[in-house]
Structure 1
Amino acid sequence: MASGWAKEGAVQEQIDSTVEDALKRARDQLPVGVSLTHCEECDAAIPEARREALPGVRLCVACQSELDKQQSVSGGYNRRGSKDSQLR
């Protein structure tokens, strides 16, 4: 169903693009390398189970939770909207 100036399937392409961007952002934030034994921020010990479950971990659970809260504040504004949708 094309609407206005948008080509067929443009809405689905926009949705797919938004999901791909979110996945890339999430993958880029995954830790890599050797896990630390102590948190970078507060120097608390990182449990071995956490280090094994998430290779490359650098923060304890409390510090990681706080970082996640700060990062979730950023909005999910889609900059790839078509000109047609911007003119409405």
Structure 2
Amino acid sequence: MATDKERKLLTARINQLSRKDKEEGLTEEEAIERQKLRKQFLANFKESFRSQVEMMQVFDKSGKEVTPEKVKKIQRDKGLRDD
């Protein structure tokens, strides 16, 4: 998983290339770099989101846990649940 600093640098470079594209256009190499960076950004986002979902617990209004079984199984497989 990417660190916060790596995510910020990645986002900054993507934004820099996007601004350049709007102002003067990108070279072929820059366009390829931007595409690779966007793919990396999306992969980081998906990994982070998946991790958040896997760590969640859901409770109803009465306080009963209603976490989906699929999530519970993932949590058990990762050693995050004892039940």
What TM-score comes out, normalization by structure 1 length? 0.37
What TM-score comes out, normalization by structure 2 length? 0.38
